Amino acid sequence: MTISTQAIQQLRQATGVGIMDAKKALQEAEGDHDKAMEILRKQGHDKAQKRAERATESGIIDTYLHMGKIGAMVMVECETDFVARTDEFQHFAHDIAMHVAAAEPQYISPDDVPDSVIEQEKSVYAEEVQDKPEHIQEQVISGKLDKFYEQVCLYKQPFIKDGEKTIETYLAEQIAQTGENIRITDFSRMELGA
């Protein structure tokens, strides 16, 4: 299948990938722009997994203040100072600070949730489904725990600017775009009168 240079250029502008990656994704997707974006998104997630092992020694701390009443501060790390100074990286950090202010996460990832909190949630869910068969109980508890993570874990929350993707997906896109490991290492949220 022949892919037009215009289609390749559009995909490159939307994703920030190289010419050959855009062309391969469009060929694999048989010219479908949306499918090609999904293919690249999955590849970006794979690349993000590989880059996760690399050290992050640079980065920025960004803040967001909403009407003087709600504030958030985030620490976002990357591998090099060059990436930390780019507009895209700084915009990403600001988006995360805005998200923290709006969505009120309590933890960065499910790994950060203390075991005692998880056990407490599981016991509440177990009481709710005790009348159901055991194999269904496990499925319901697992589903409710996933919903709990979506509420309290930054990485699992739907991104406030684009509910179609999670913060984890947005992070993977940034890693794919910059070619560096990026980590959200800390955040803090304050609210006046809370």
Q: What is the pLDDT of residues 133-155, one digit of tens each?
A: 888 888 888 899 999 999 999 99
Q: How far is CA 184 from CA 23, 100, 140, 163, in A?
A: 31, 11, 30, 19
Handedness of CA 79, 84, 89, 90 (dihedral sign): positive
Q: What is the CA radius of gyration of the chain?
A: 20
Domain boundaries, the chain: 5-51, 58-108+153-191, 114-152
pLDDT of amino acid 54 = 62
Strands (E), the chain: 58-66, 70-78, 158-159, 162-166, 183-191
Cβ distance 101 to 130 under 8 Å? no
Res 68: pLDDT = 92
Q: pTM for the full model?
A: 0.70
pLDDT of residue 51: 54
What superfamily does domain 58-108+153-191 belong to in CATH? Answer: Elongation factor Ts, dimerisation domain (3.30.479.20)
- Domain 5-51 sits in which CATH superfamily? Ubiquitin-associated (UBA) domain (1.10.8.10)
Whats the size of the chain, residue-wise?
Answer: 194
Ranges of the chain whose pLDDT falls below 50 = 45
